[in-house]
Chain A
Amino acid sequence: MILRTLLLALALGSAAFSSFGSGLEALAQDKQEVKSDDLVSSLEKSYEKVADKTANCVVAVRVDREPEPAPPKTTPLPGLRGRFGAAPEDPFAKRPSAWCSGLIVEPTGTILTTYFNVQGKVKSIRVLLPDGRELEGKLLGYNGTYDLAAIKVEAEGLPTLRKARLDDLKAGQPLVALGRAPDGKSLTLNPGIVSAASRLGGKGIQIDSKLNYGNVGGPVVDLEGRLVAVSCKVDVKYALVFGQNSGVGFAITHDRFSNLLVDLKAGKNQAEPRRPFLGIGPEPNSKKEGVELATVQAGTAAEKAGIKPHDVIIEFDGRKVTQFDDLRAAIGRKSEGDRVKVKVLRGEDEMEFECVLGSALDDAP
């Protein structure tokens, strides 16, 4: 009985698939133009759905501050001079005075935005909620490594976004970066794709949506309106590198938020971006497999653990290391304070050390 069902099914199935093949060709000829705007409708519907689902969580933020120091003058085209021989002001290298963007992350009134947005000698912070209420914001804390900051408003029962899965993010996936317009009112949408699923030492993603002063600090969501990340790293000092709307944009994924919020609410502030630091310098012309060390800086994690110059690092945090780029990136994926096992070759001997990573100031994202 089973065998007969099986054979019948197979027979029907193969017949079906062969006619499918010829049917396909005929239809392809007939219907080239039909429904070619289905994709456009489908995209528009997706974006409309995104706007509907997320609008009530995206806020506008207004910061009143003491005047800041003058921005850098040189453009990346140093030879260019305007009239009267002065270097033209880089239009990007100046903080604008309009409303910027933020995201409601807790119903009790916690708002996330970028650290850059709340930097400086701040006199007052105002948050415009989507329901029209304009509330005073209190700065809870900031973190220069993530370029994120938390603000508190007096409100209850605020809506928050559902979170998306992060384990299957891949390059090419469509996302939308949201924010509020310069007048604080209109929702702004910037669709793009994931340019790389893991950047910033694993802290975030790279997207090609246009990010600028106006929309950083807002959420980056998938086409279902679920939260993936919050956009960041648009800053006057990066203005000369990434500029505005360059299509190279970064966002911190939401799996970093819970630990970060604990720190921010506790006022554990960190102004300068810091990266985890081992304290070693590689030998540039080394032929050895692994990272041969030319220097070990005094007082650093490596020195304290007992690593010495001329040691060759062959394993870091359980992974084999063959060249310096690997090691540097692997260090970048850890955090200050992490305990890491480092294996080295000293002469013929293999030795293992435990290092507690320190921190170093960093300029680049």
Chain B
Amino acid sequence: MKPVALAFAFWVQLALQAAFDPGFALAQAQQEDLDKVHVRIAKKVAPATVCVEGGSMRGSGVIIDKSGLILTSPTAVGTSSTRVTVLTKGARSYSGKVMGRANDRELVIVKIDAGQDLPFLELGDSDAVRPGQISYVFGDSYDSMRSDDQPAMSMGVISGIYELTQRHERALYMGKVLETSAAVNPAQNGGPLVDREGRLLGLITLNYDDSKFTGLAVPINALKPSIEKIRRDYSSAPVVLGPLRPEPAVEPKKPVEPAPKAKAGEAWLGLEVKAVLGGVEVTRVARRSPAHKAGIHRGDVVTMIDASKISTEEGLRKALERKSPEETVRITVNREGAGVQELTVKLVAKPEY
């Protein structure tokens, strides 16, 4: 008798749960939603994706401000063009002005006057990106913007993060890249790589590593300083940062050596800095990093780590190299308006897979 009663009690309980548990019923309703979960990203990002033409080339770009500020690549519009044709959703074409460029980072900023607010994307944080994160690529696909008023969308993940030391397809950027398993095809260079919220993680480059041949993007954080500088300094003529025709810094196809024998994990602080008088100025703080947690801000000038004076980027790196992950260090920082501070920071192991 008891097993029977238990069995039926169990069954009744489940049936009641079916009736009254919103989660269960919702799950059924969501069977249809599964097919179209990525559609909301299409609706957000496709309208902010543009096709660009300049210097007898064509490629893609992305709107990052409703006033019509567009990021694209010199591999899409040429290394010295001053005007660019931009095609937006609705099959509208505009003549854009080049506000500035940093060709060695494959960045060109273009301004168009659409006479109305345009859909745009927020910039994401490419340093917080981890392999496995969902990512999408949008861009012109074999004439899709002009012919069919659409970019093409592809879906995948951030499949890897590494240093690219080769140049193909007349690429201009070598350095840290975000690799994506989402499909990348010609004319998508300059277009957006976005995360699951539609935030810009990088600009597509057609450069590839000849052992992978997969899609790559220049990380947005590598572009942020240039973007800010161009926006700040632009008045009438294009702001040109870096060489117009970058030459490879290293011999292409040189065998890549991994980092010299390190202990399990390097000590990581989470700062990007540049040398200034008396120390190094923080240009970026990585989210969730030890520096962030300790309260270090952009603009702070780091002058000492423990007892070592820091005056260059290299100096900071060397000082950290000598530390082990989990070590606590004293960082001396000059903050405008707040004088000199000494912060205690606990380092962690560099978060790399």
- Bound together: yes
Chain A residues within CB distance 8 Å of chain B = 1-2, 5-6, 8-9, 12-13, 15-17, 19-20, 23-24, 27-28, 31-41, 43-44, 47-48, 50-51, 55, 60, 91-92, 94, 96-100, 128, 131-134, 181-191, 209-210, 212-215, 244-245
Are B214 and A51 neighbours in the complex by a CB distance under 8 Å? no
Residues of B within 8 A of A40 (CB): 37-38, 134, 196
Interface bracket on B: 35 or more
Residues of B within 8 A of A183 (CB): 162-163, 165, 256, 258
Are A5 and B8 neighbours in the complex by a CB distance under 8 Å? yes
Residues of B within 8 A of A133 (CB): 261
Q: In the complex, what's the smallest C-beta–C-beta distance from B113 to chain A, in angstroms?
A: 34
Which residue of chain A lies nearest to B196 when distances are taken between CB atoms in the complex? A40
Q: Which of A9, A51, A128, A182 contacts B212 (CB 8 A)?
A: A182
Are A185 and B259 neighbours in the complex by a CB distance under 8 Å? yes
Are A92 and B12 neighbours in the complex by a CB distance under 8 Å? no
Closest 5 CB pairs of A and B: A47-B132, A187-B353, A96-B211, A188-B160, A181-B162
Q: In the complex, what's the smallest C-beta–C-beta distance from A250 to chain B, in angstroms?
A: 18
Q: Does B255 contact A (CB under 8 A)?
A: yes
Which residue of chain B lies nearest to A180 when distances are taken between CB atoms in the complex? B160
Are B131 and A186 neighbours in the complex by a CB distance under 8 Å? yes
Which residue of chain A lies nearest to B10 when distances are taken between CB atoms in the complex? A9
Residues of A within 8 A of B57 (CB): none
Residues of A within 8 A of B37 (CB): 36-37, 39-40
Residues of B within 8 A of A31 (CB): 26, 29
Q: Which of A12, A91, A100 contacts B16 (CB 8 A)?
A: A12
Contact A35 B30, CB 8 Å, known A98-B256, A182-B256: yes
Query: Residues 152-187 of chain B: 1 if any A CB is under 8 Å from the residue's CB, otherwise 0?
Result: 000011011111110010000000000101000000
Q: In the complex, what's the smallest C-beta–C-beta distance from B167 to chain A, in angstroms?
A: 13
Are A9 and B214 neighbours in the complex by a CB distance under 8 Å? no
Are B15 and A51 neighbours in the complex by a CB distance under 8 Å? no
Residues of A within 8 A of B159 (CB): 188-190, 210
Are B264 and A131 neighbours in the complex by a CB distance under 8 Å? yes
CA distance in complex: A99, B259 (Å): 13
- In the assembled complex, 25 residue pairs joining A and B whose CB atoms fall closer than 8 Å, in A order, are A9-B8, A16-B18, A17-B18, A17-B19, A23-B20, A24-B25, A35-B26, A36-B30, A37-B196, A38-B30, A39-B37, A43-B134, A44-B133, A44-B196, A47-B134, A48-B132, A51-B353, A97-B255, A128-B258, A183-B163, A185-B258, A186-B161, A186-B162, A215-B212, A245-B212
Q: In the complex, what's the smallest C-beta–C-beta distance from B314 to chain A, in angstroms?
A: 20
Q: In the complex, what's the smallest C-beta–C-beta distance from A52 to chain B, in angstroms?
A: 8
Q: In the complex, what's the smallest C-beta–C-beta distance from A129 to chain B, in angstroms?
A: 10
Are A99 and B15 neighbours in the complex by a CB distance under 8 Å? no
